[in-house]
Amino acid sequence: MPKGSSGRTATAGGKNVSAENIQPAGREVMTTFAKSASNAVKRFPELKGNPYVNLHEINQADIKTPGVLAYYGIDSKSIVVGNKTIDYQDQSDFHPAGTGNLEGVVAHELGHALSYHQLPGFRDVEKTVRIAHAKYNRQTDGKLTRAEFMREISVYAAESTHETFAEAFADWSVNGIKASKASLAVMSSWRMSKH
């Protein structure tokens, strides 16, 4: 759901988001998306060729819904980035450090593209966050509640488990191993261990 001036929508099927002039993304958005997708495949090779997630298509549009920077359409399986989002800058702790920008927005939506489909070999979002929370408390000898753990990733991550995953994914995608310990716990809990 759209939240505040920095909000991104999780968009179950793109509902409640109004966008006009949807067209294939321009070079800047394409390049940024290609980078995020390539990072994802490098780290999680199982994603390559997966029919549920389109790692090649991304669009741009005039998004009319206030506060929505970009969205992922579950039905269309494609990401739409607002034309104004190209210049987006947010330095607050609303998002993980370094992700309040186009690269972070695109990576966040790619996170949704991955989280909304049940991918073979990967856990669903609920289970991923549950396991990551336990792992984080073990690693840090901490006693964070689930909400506190989500807030460790970012303010927006505390919104829902889907936002937790998308924010952690953006953090890891932009910052690599320098992402927060909480984000890395989410990423490492996502893939099922091989037996």
Neighbours of 162 (CB within 10 A): 20
Task: Determine the size of the site formed for Zn ion (CB under 5 A).
Answer: 4
How far is the C-alpha of 157 from the C-alpha of 21, rounded, in Å? 30
Q: How far is the CB of 184 from Zn ion (least distance, A)?
A: 19
How far is the C-alpha of 27 from the C-alpha of 87, rounded, in Å? 14
Q: Which is nearer to Zn ion, 10 or 102 (CB)?
A: 10
Segment near Zn ion (CB under 5 A); pick from 37-45, 61-69, 156-164, 181-189: 156-164
Pick from 123, 103, 124: nearest CA to 38: 103
* Contact pattern from residue 46 through residue 65 relative to Zn ion, giving x for each residue in contact according to CB under 5 A and a dash for the rest: --------------------
Q: Does 133 bind Zn ion (CB under 5 A)?
A: no
Residues 6+ away with beta carbon under 8 Å from 67: 2, 3, 4, 5, 6, 7
Q: Does 10 bind Zn ion (CB under 5 A)?
A: yes
Q: Phi/psi at 8 (nearest 5 deg)?
A: -115, 150
Segment near Zn ion (CB under 5 A); pick from 8-16, 62-70, 98-106, 182-190: 8-16
Q: Does 135 bind Zn ion (CB under 5 A)?
A: no
Helix, strand, coil % in the chain, rounded to nearest 5 = 50, 10, 40
Pick from 7, 8, 25, 106 the residue near Zn ion by CB under 5 A.
8
Pick from 37, 58, 166, 174 the residue near Zn ion by CB under 5 A.
166
Binding site for Zn ion (CB under 5 A): 8, 10, 163, 166
